[in-house]
Structure 1
Amino acid sequence: MKYKKVRWGIIGCGDVTEVKSGPAFQKVSNSQLVAVMRRTSELAKDYAERHGVPKWYDDADALINDSEVDAVYIATPPGSHKEYTLKVAQAGKPVYVEKPMALNEAECQEMVQACKDADVPLYVAYYRRAQPRFKKVKELLDARAIGDVRFVSTTQYQKIADDIKEQPSLPWRLQPEISGGGLFFDLASHTLDILDFLLGPIEEVHGIKSNQAGYYEAEDIVTGTYRFESGVHGIGNWCFTAFENVDKNEIVGSEGKITFSTYGDDPVVLTTADGQEEWSFERPKHVHQPLIETIMKDLTTETKQSPSTGESGAKANWVMDELTK
């Protein structure tokens, strides 16, 4: 079904929707945010009033079945992604779900199948696929700026947050029954997804996980190696109790290398025998907006524009499952 205009509802209008995603639904052509839901009615009402949204709910089913809501963005923690996706699909409405897509790859596949059975599209909020910074890296690779790609290395580590040390209860991101694992599942998922976008799918994975610091039960360090279908090799190190913050991806080829970060604003750097070139990009105010624009083109035209689907989102969960099993 193609829409002239898409009226969106949000389930879980928490912090991620304040700037990163929520306002983008009002700014993209032919898109409108018409309803939001949060379990605490006062918070749902406050969000709706501050963002100019006409309807608010404290019941997800009521939003899903609202006849004036055409599509639903699920912005809850991963533990409820499958439940809500299946309900939205049953209601016959397109789904846009936060990342990571679900608690594990098996849940992701249930979500994909449910949306196929209902003949509704499923999109995942791996928004970096649509941002100019990462599209530039893809452009360089497609142009063979570094020749034949040999391997990619990822090094991402950070300090332990003070609030994790001090607070009596852990944030949901560190509760595997809600998030799927520790910070690795929340943060590394973006990197693994963007590597899939840049280099194609990963087909073989080997990993080691540990909890070294003991601040919580979930893994706080993961090291892995993987091989892409293209033959490219990869290695990744993620640690969340280190002495400083580092975020670096390096794709090495037969004639050069490309260096870039997943979360930072560092320039994309191309290094070859001829020297270095750099490209800097301003971070979008609403980081989801470029991806939402592609989703809206999918929903309102006959073209397939969105680079992040249920099928691609499930791949990141499969890799993370393999790295941490």
Structure 2
Amino acid sequence: MEQINWGIIGCGDVTEVKSGPAFNKIPHSRLVAVMRRDAEKVADYAKRHNVPAWYTDADALINDPNVNAVYVATPPDSHADYAIRAMRAGKPVYVEKPMALNAAECDAMNRVSQETGVPLFTAFYRRSLPYFLKVKELIDQRVIGDIRYVSMQLNWLPPSAASDGVKPGWRVSPEISGGGYFHDLAAHQFDFLAFALGRITKASGIARNQAGLYAADDIVVATYAFESGVLGTGSWCFTASNAQRLEQTQLIGSNGTITFSFFENFLIKVETASGTDEYTVAFPEHVQQPLIEQIVSELRGEGKSPSTGETGAQTSLILDWIANGKETFQGE
């Protein structure tokens, strides 16, 4: 492919700044069409972002002859359907994360990609962001020696949980999102850890709904193991008070510790016997742009994307292993 002409299915909030504008800022890439079921909203989006065509029907966008690649940015419950339709139409797909409702749907998507020979990519953009590449560089340079253990902690009270009368939204409707905030946020964490430390081969957990504010789990604890022998733990509580807010990941090595954040700040702290070093690496304006640029490069036969349908499916499998652990405890 010489020129990548993108169509977006589902031009919601994530496409406003994180991804949408990036398609027109990358050489040999252009956003030519958008789709949303609400005609007024999609027309407004197209006007504001200078997109020449808009649709209220996904098949109309997929079959647009000017579109030769599709970005699926809807909630996860429709990822598999739209991605498979686009691939069967011969158009490469870039799909939002989590890749689908569960690992089984991800596998179905990958089978179609293999059958058709049409590429499939997942929006785990932290694999391409300078901040996280710096973390990986520090790991690869063995600045804290051999990594022994990973500890993740996230305490957060989303606005929808803190405010009376505020509708929680689709992210905490398991039939739409696949789970709750754990699926939305931990997906990024586990995907990057697998990228930086190697494949995660085992994971288990306990998930609960303690506060009863919505249908999805609001607290999860987990253990996991990497193929390399590194072990890890994590806890995610989405009903902690703002005074208890904490989001950090620590890599404990044989000679020190690396502390960094997935969502809260741009600081990386390295502590060893020789002292403490700190690195600040800001995110770009459009956080998905570095990954989209790599995808465009691969579609043009010039490079390789670090985030694919296969890696996205592996991340969804980890989420399934952990979240489904609650079934062991039914009947308590």
TM-score normalized by the length of structure 1: 0.97
Partner residue, 1:8: 6
Equivalent residue runs for 1:101-140 within 5 Å: 101-140=99-138
**Do 2:160 and 2:167's aligned partners in 1 also have CA atoms closer than 8 Å?**
no
Unaligned runs of 5+ in 1: none
SS in 2 for 1:23: helix
Partner residue, 2:66: 68
Deviation of the 1:160 alpha carbon: 4.0
Partner residue, 2:76: 78
Deviation of the 1:165 alpha carbon: 4.2
SS in 1 for 2:20: coil
Instruction: Write the deviation string for residues 254-292 of structure 1: whole angstroms up to 9, x where unpaired.
Output: 011111000122311111111111110122111100111
**Do 1:160 and 1:242's aligned partners in 2 also have CA atoms closer than 8 Å?**
no
**Aligned equivalents of 1:10 and 1:47: distance in 2?**
11
SS in 2 for 1:166: coil
Instruction: Write the deviation string for residues 78-137 of structure 1: whole angstroms up to 9, x where unpaired.
Output: 000000011011001100000000000000010011111110111100111100010011
**Do 2:144 and 2:253's aligned partners in 1 also have CA atoms closer than 8 Å?**
yes
Instruction: Write the deviation string for residues 140-164 of structure 1: whole angstroms up to 9, x where unpaired.
Output: 1111111111010000110242466
Choose 141-150 or 164-173, whichever is displaced more: 164-173
**Do 1:11 and 1:75's aligned partners in 2 also have CA atoms closer than 8 Å?**
yes
**Do 2:161 and 2:239's aligned partners in 1 also have CA atoms closer than 8 Å?**
no
Partner residue, 2:329: none
State the aligned residue count: 322
Give the AA of the match of 2:47. Answer: E
Partner residue, 1:290: 290
Give the AA of the match of 2:208. Answer: S
Among 137, 153, 156, the residue aligned to 2:154: 156
Give the AA of the match of 2:26. Answer: V
Equivalent residue runs for 1:263-282 within 5 Å: 263-282=263-282
Deviation of the 1:226 alpha carbon: 0.7
**Aligned equivalents of 1:44 and 1:172: distance in 2?**
19
CA change 1:168–1:147 in 2 (3 A) is closer
Give the AA of the match of 2:264. Answer: G
**Aligned equivalents of 2:308 and 2:158: distance in 1?**
32
Give the AA of the match of 1:215. Answer: L
Partner residue, 2:299: 299
SS in 2 for 1:173: helix
Instruction: Write the deviation string for residues 172-200 of structure 1: whole angstroms up to 9, x where unpaired.
Output: 00100000011111111111111111111
**Aligned equivalents of 2:208 and 2:283: distance in 1?**
33
SS in 2 for 1:185: helix
**Aligned equivalents of 2:283 and 2:166: distance in 1?**
34
Choose 259-268 or 10-19, whichever is displaced more: 259-268
Partner residue, 1:55: 53
Q: Does 1:37 align with 2:28?
A: no
Percent identity of equivalent pairs: 54
**Aligned equivalents of 2:233 and 2:265: distance in 1?**
22
Instruction: Write the deviation string for residues 198-227 of structure 1: whole angstroms up to 9, x where unpaired.
Output: 111111112001111111121000000011
**Do 2:128 and 2:306's aligned partners in 1 also have CA atoms closer than 8 Å?**
yes
**Do 1:164 and 1:170's aligned partners in 2 also have CA atoms closer than 8 Å?**
no
Partner residue, 1:233: 231
TM-score normalized by the length of structure 2: 0.95
Partner residue, 1:310: 309
**Aligned equivalents of 1:206 and 1:31: distance in 2?**
41
**Aligned equivalents of 2:36 and 2:206: distance in 1?**
37
RMSD of Structure 2 on Structure 1 (CA) = 1.1
Give the AA of the match of 1:91. Answer: A
